[in-house]
Amino acid sequence: MDATLLTQYALAGLVIGAIYCLMAVGITFIYSVMRMINWAMGEFYMIGGYVQYLLIADWLGPDRWYLALPLAIAGVGALGMVVQRVLLRPMFAGGIERLDEYATIVTISLTVLFRNLAVVIFGPYQFSPRDYAPPVQLGPLPVNGSRFVAFLGAAALLGLFAWVVRRTWFGLAIRSVAQNRVGALCAGIDLSRIDMLAFGIGVALAGAAGALLAPVFLVYPQSGALSTVKGFEIIVIGGLGSLGGSIVGGLLLGLVESLGSVLISPAFRDVYGFGLLVLILALRPTGLWGERAREA
């Protein structure tokens, strides 16, 4: 095997893996706080892409994509908070017995709603803003400028996210809610507010991935479908509820997909991820860092 080519594949895998991480971290974050799986994650990714595209195309211009990014991320976060407040809060207000089923039905309905809304509003076309930056030479690999920006952006956002969760009061509250809702309530933490913010932040991570990748993977109504699948693949690999697991799982998936393509055959690229997943499930059913057992 040609060493240069191998390095190229590994680099390409890491770049894409960093972006997978954003999705996975968003999913696992919402899960750990609200104990629900947000199946509409990919649609928030899709909306992030559209908002970014519209901001660049109609308002800020292609040179000021970096101004559009925070706006797109905040916009998706705000939408997430509205969704949480209007559709998901009733879950925790009592009166609904099967929380898991309720959350699943609501978020799956949202995927259908958002996809069809995107078709109605923007048409079935595919959009793509201009590349954020010219190609960058990363060692032996010419990396597309937008991909490089997306990689840096993903790394920065994950760093910021980790800092907020580990070092701030808000992060402390989030962690307490994730570990014991009643315990957090006893301390006087406003759970409905934390839930709303957590959902907003979780989907904003997906929106960020969508906005960062808008020039790379195109923006269209179904663009979120795959990212949801990848996100869940990583969650299973890394373990549901583990942020570290999401990050390692994302990078691992990117690497395995990329290296499998060159070492075995590129025809089955998406199968390698599932292979890894099955292997890990067989060896460690809770994922690499999954919760062993839930606290009573």
Partner 1 sequence: MLWVDGVVAGYHEGIDVLRGVTLRVEARRVTAVIGPNGAGKSTLLRVVFGLLAPRRGRVVFDGHDIQELPPDTRKRRGIGYVPQGTSTFPQMTVEETLRVGGWTIRHDRARLRDRIAHVYDLFPVLAQLRRVRAGVLSGGQLRMLAIAKELVVMPSLPLVDEPTAGLAPRIADDVYRLLERARELGIAVMLVDQNIAEAVALADHVCVMALGRVQRAGPRESVAADLRILVQEALIGTGG
Partner 2 sequence: MRKWIVAAAVAVIATGAAGAGSGWGAAPPVVLGVLTPLSPPGDPAAGQLIVQGAQLGEAYINGVMGGVFGPKTSCPQPATPVRIAVEDDSGTPEKSVAGFRRLVTEEHAVGVFGAFHSSAMLAAAPLADELGVPYISTQASAADITAKHFAAVFRTHPVDPDRAAAWLGFIQAQNWHKIALLAENTDYGIGLAEATKSLIAQRKLAMTLDAVIFDRTSADLTPQLLKIKAEKPDIVLNVGVGTPAYLIIKQAHDIGLFPQTPMLASYDFPVRPEEYWKNLGPTGVWLAFISYFHPRMALTALGTWASVEYAKRFHSTAVYSNLNSFGDAVILAEAMNQACSRDPKRIIAQLERGRFDTWIGTGATFPRAAGVRWHQWSPPLVILQYTRPDETYDQAPILYPPAMKTGAFEPAH
Site for partner 2 contains 261 (CB under 8 A): yes
> Among 125, 138, 293, which Cα is nearest to 222's?
125
Cα–Cα distances (Å) from 243 to 215, 230, 248, 284, in that order, read: 27, 16, 9, 17
Residues 78, 239 contacting (CB under 8 angstroms) = no
- CA 290/CA 22 separation, integer angstroms: 18
Cα–Cα distances (Å) from 282 to 93, 138, 233, 290, in that order, read: 38, 36, 14, 14
The partner in contact with residue 180, picked from partner 2, partner 1, none with C-beta cut-offs of 5 to 8 angstroms by kind, is partner 1
Q: Which residue stretches of 123-223 are H helix?
A: 145-167, 169-179, 181-186, 191-217
> Which region, judged by CB under 8 A, interacts with partner 1, from 6-14, 84-92, 153-161, 178-186?
178-186
Residue 270 or 291: which CB sits closer to partner 2? 270
- CA 19/CA 21 separation, integer angstroms: 5
Residue 192 or 265: which CB sits closer to partner 1? 192
Contacts of 98 (CB under 8 A, 6+ apart): none
Site for partner 1 contains 180 (CB under 8 A): yes
Site string for partner 2, 106-135 (x = CB under 8 A): ---------xx--x---xxxxxx-x----x
Which residues inside 114-173 make contact with partner 1, applying CB under 8 A?
169, 172-173
The partner in contact with residue 216, picked from partner 2, partner 1, none with C-beta cut-offs of 5 to 8 angstroms by kind, is partner 2
Long-range contacts of 277-282 (CB under 8 A, 24+ apart): 277/233, 277/236, 277/237, 280/236, 280/237, 281/236
> Among 255, 165, 246, 259, which Cα is nearest to 206's?
246
Site string for partner 1, 89-108 (x = CB under 8 A): -----x--------------
Site for partner 2 contains 266 (CB under 8 A): yes
Site for partner 1 contains 184 (CB under 8 A): yes
Which residues inside 209-228 make contact with partner 2, applying CB under 8 A?
216-218, 220-223, 225-227
Site for partner 1 contains 18 (CB under 8 A): no
What type of residue is 44? F
Residue that has been written with the tokens 């879950």 in this structure: 91
From candidates 87, 270, 275, 291, binder to partner 2 by CB under 8 A:
270
Residues lying near partner 1 in the complex (CB under 8 A) are found at 94, 169, 172-173, 175-176, 179-180, 182-192, 295-296
Residues lying near partner 2 in the complex (CB under 8 A) are found at 2, 5, 8-9, 12-13, 16, 115-116, 119, 123-128, 130, 135, 142-144, 147, 216-218, 220-223, 225-227, 229, 257-258, 261-262, 266-271
